[in-house]
Chains A and B, each alone.
Chain A
């Protein structure tokens, strides 16, 4: 019997450095239109969106900040809400060597967040440091 070990050269680890947004809706008119359940987010630089119904859970929706810029613009839109809200996240970034197969992964440290006020009341930064090991955390009040 031959025993050998083999490794492919592909990265099989989860290397996403996520920023989790906890969504708290206190506005009854937004609850009436299932604002969170119908929520999706996108960046103008993306070609797709992240849907809460697919990727969110327990009022938390995670996304990745741009690894190539110190600012990320994220638009919040909900199916039956006539207006959108936009979040501007300003941060510093560096890179950590993760493994020979996966290479480098970005780390972020949030400096500040600006937002529009169509539905968002306020944004609180809970955990400003984001890495593969630990997600960042913000709380958004609608």
Chain B
């Protein structure tokens, strides 16, 4: 498969602040590639460098095998969808979409045809003469996408375009964007701080922190096998413990947490006894009242502190009787656990394969 975008050792320094540190990645033709990171991690800077709006300090960006060094944004085969969409308020929808085509000097009749086709594709047929301020948030979104897609870019860059929408619309646009990408087959590079956007839409996700990529992987792998503590923490909900290795045989370690509890969990390496570790556990890895015959569970009693009802994402907030540490336990809404009340004493168990354990970074 053709590689549409290749970024190699790209670095950006602003005076004494390094926004992007030697980042490298490839995006294949037709992929939906997301860069996920907290605000201020350098992801927008990275995207702007790909678009050509910011000049990298070091490194090479290649688009379809052609180096982009010194090529201004108006000559690059990439288009950027801005966070605030940046639709031109002085033009109507049709003129907005035709803007790039006119700059290329295409014929008027062809432009008209292309605008019609692309509007049909984003399901806004007949909107040519509408003013921008007559559109709803979702419609503006689609006009912004159409304005870029009509130019048939090698790579479409999206800078948190769903950020300004309200929750309901955002959920809807997530699915729509994914479908649209599959339909048009353009390579998308999408940046976001919202993990659910990245996980739902992408083929590959790069998790970025402090200007560096922590892990590039499929959404499933990111969630199930995070390679760094940051990824484990940033992607998905977590229960976190800190503790020390008591003993470690091959890939199962016994950990004593700071609260004095013992857990058995799988580990990637044979860790030394006494090593400080962080232990992460997904809320859904904890089973409520597990059947006595299930083996290899870390079982313990907890007291329910509160029930956080949120539909399919409902959780229990619980503590062990002898500690104050609060645990998040997923509460499946299949009516099976409706009997659970606050202050109930129940048993919780988690499989030793579900734990994610990393050696603790030594604090300087």
Q: Do A and B come from one complex?
A: no
Query: Which B residues lie at the A interface, using CB under 8 A?
Result: none
